[in-house]
Amino acid sequence: MQQRVNQAETKTATLWQWINNTFHRFGSPKYFYDLTGKLLPWCWAGVLLVLIPGLIWGLAFAPPDYYQGNSYRIIFIHVPAAGIAMMGYAVMAFAGIVTLVWRMKMADVIAKVVAPIGASFTFLCLVTGAIWGRPTWGTWWEWDARLTSMLILFFLYVSVMALRAAIEHPDVAARATAVLSIVGIVNLPIIRYSVNWWNTLHQPSSIRLTGSSLAPEMLYPLLACIVGFYFLFAVLVMLSARNEVLLREYRSAWVKKWLKP
Amino acid sequence: MYFDSFADFVAMGTHGPYVWSAYALTLIVVLANLGVILHQGRKVQATIRQKLRRQQLQEQDSYEP
Amino acid sequence: MNPKRKRRLTIIIGLVCGLSVAVGFGAYAMRHSIDLFVTPGDIAAGTVPTNQRISVGGLVVDGSLKRGDGLTIHFDVSDNKSVVAVSYDGILPDLFREGKGIVVKGMLTEDGRVVANEVLAKHDENYMPPEAKAAIEKAGHPKGV
């Protein structure tokens, strides 16, 4: 009995050690560069084999909605873009925490490159939503809680980028933007639950943990598009982060070796 | 395909302009992101080569008596 | 984790928690101004000011849409508890349907009617093809479910 407890303890200890090791290995720029080099082709494949078929499925093969007609097909970019906008911010804020607590340089690389990409997807979410709103609601924009909190997310991204650009010293910039990113986390649950907490023009979520209120022939292409957008986001972040890593590490031997040919 | 003809597909009922402008904008934003990143990649390589060359020259200079 | 990192992490968690509480209280205090619209129930309860710009949200009551003189139209908006009469002089959105959700912007008169100057259509979180909708209605389910 005692032996078994000890075994379990060693197992948890090894697991914890493994997590710890993996975490710290990510702090190595060379490891990151090699790993993303291997992952990139797979993510490109995801874009080609999941996102593009998903979009074609949604545009041409999914049936129209009984109430909204064909305008609802904007959902296949609007909802994935909203997901990326929020997930991207969470990634940036988490990287900020790692920067502040562990002083890990790689975390700041991620935080820096995610900001403009996340801002682009937030912009897409806002504009596709407005384009969808015109034929369905009869207005491009309404200051309801969901739309306003999403606009605030966009401005949070922009201010994080502006703050980084305004501070010349890279370490100071890293810490300052990390703090601002972390403060903005509060907005994420507000966006998510705004449609439940307040009266809004925007309808509640259609996909919930308890199930979906979309017909299956609309849900499957939407899920494909959501997964596909994650692949696209991963491709953009990895490509951009690889540039940033090379630029920051140009003095190290592995970059010189990589540059030689 | 759900639509009866290609013309129907383009028209999207009466919602063609809305749907296609949303998709076109998405394509533009994604390609712009990709373009900026690839351009930066080329710029980074050039910058690193330049910096390393300068570093080498400085090291050579310092060996002079 | 070394004590320095632990301290920094504690500060960050404290910061986020404190901020969440502050924003939470703020949002709770302002909940009525964050709400985009009031409901017919609020009007019935008498908490809505008259002769002031307001928005009212609810479902258009089945069979209540009537054309008045000129361009003016009349319909009732309900939240399944109370009903309020709306008159509107303008163009309705494409998705305006009896039994469906809308938001009207306008003024509440002294006698408890709403004179609207803008009508927005709402839609719900249900998406389905027309055939599926027809099948549900044929099977005798109530409208809008």
**What Cα–Cα distance (Å) separates residue A185 from each residue in A158, A174, A181, A202?**
15, 17, 7, 22
A74 — contact with chain C (CB < 8 Å)? no
Q: Are residues C23 and C56 located together in one domain of the fold?
A: no
How does A187-213 read in b/e, with b if 16+ C-beta sit within 10 Å? bbebbeebbebbbbbbbeebbeeeebb
Q: Are residues C42 and C72 located together in one domain of the fold?
A: yes
How far A62 CA sits from the closest chain B CA (Å)? 7
Tell me what the mean pLDDT of segment A66-81 comes to: 93
Q: What pLDDT digit, counting tens, does each position of C42-84 carry? A: 888 888 888 889 999 999 999 888 887 778 899 999 998 899 9
Could you give the number of structural domains in chain B?
1
Tell me what the mean pLDDT of segment A239-244 comes to: 95
3-state SS record for chain A: CHHHHHHHHHHHHHHHHHHHHHHHHCCCHHHHHHHHHHHHHHHHHHHHHHHHHHHHHHHHHCCCECCCECHHHHHHHHHHHHHHHHHHHHHHHHHHHHHHHHCCHHHHHHHHHHHHHHHHHHHHHHHHHHHHHHHHHCCCCCCCHHHHHHHHHHHHHHHHHHHHHHCCCHHHHHHHHHHHHHHHCCHHHHHHHHHHHCCCCCCCCCEECCEECECHHHHHHHHHHHHHHHHHHHHHHHHHHHHHHHHHCCCCHHHHHHHCC
Cβ atoms within 10 Å of C7's Cβ, excluding its own? 12
Distance between the two ends of chain C, CA-based, in angstroms?
54
Quote ipTM for the complex. 0.89
Q: What is the mean pLDDT of chain A?
A: 92
**What Cα–Cα distance (Å) separates residue A201 from each residue in A79, A150, A195, A216?**
16, 14, 8, 25
Q: Are residues C21 and C88 located together in one domain of the fold?
A: no
Q: Are residues C72 and C18 located together in one domain of the fold?
A: no
In a domain, C14, yes or no: yes
In a domain, B8, yes or no: no
Q: Show which of residues 28-67 on chain A sit within 8 Å of chain C, judged by CB atoms.
A: 63-67
Q: What is the extent of the structural domain holding B50?
A: 38-65
Residue A8 has pLDDT above 70, yes or no: yes
pTM for the structure as a whole: 0.91
In a domain, B3, yes or no: no
How far A205 CA sits from the closest chain B CA (Å)? 21
Give the pLDDT score at A243: 94
In a domain, C137, yes or no: no
In a domain, C136, yes or no: no
If DSSP codes are grouped into helix, strand and coil, which group holds residue C90? Answer: coil
Q: Are residues C71 and C102 located together in one domain of the fold?
A: yes
Cβ atoms within 10 Å of A18's Cβ, excluding its own? 10
Q: What is the extent of the structural domain holding C24?
A: 3-32
Residue C53 is given by DSSP the state E
Chains in contact with A, counting 3 or more C-beta pairs less than 8 Å apart as contact? B, C
Give the pLDDT score at C116: 92
Nearest-angstrom CA–CA distance, A57 and A42:
22
Whether residue A139 and residue C120 make contact (CB cut-off 8 A), yes or no, is: yes
Q: Which of A22-36, B24-38, C35-49, C82-96 has the highest mean pLDDT?
A: B24-38
φ and ψ of C102, to 5 deg: -145, 165
Tell me how many residue pairs between chain A and chain C have CB atoms under 8 A apart: 114
Give the pLDDT score at A14: 85
Q: Are residues C9 and C26 located together in one domain of the fold?
A: yes
Closest CA to A76 of A54, A92, A48, A100: A54
Q: Are residues C16 and C47 located together in one domain of the fold?
A: no
Residue of A nearest to C56 (CA): A199
Whether residue B26 and residue A243 make contact (CB cut-off 8 A), yes or no, is: no
Q: Are residues C109 and C69 located together in one domain of the fold?
A: yes
Q: Are residues C51 and C77 located together in one domain of the fold?
A: yes
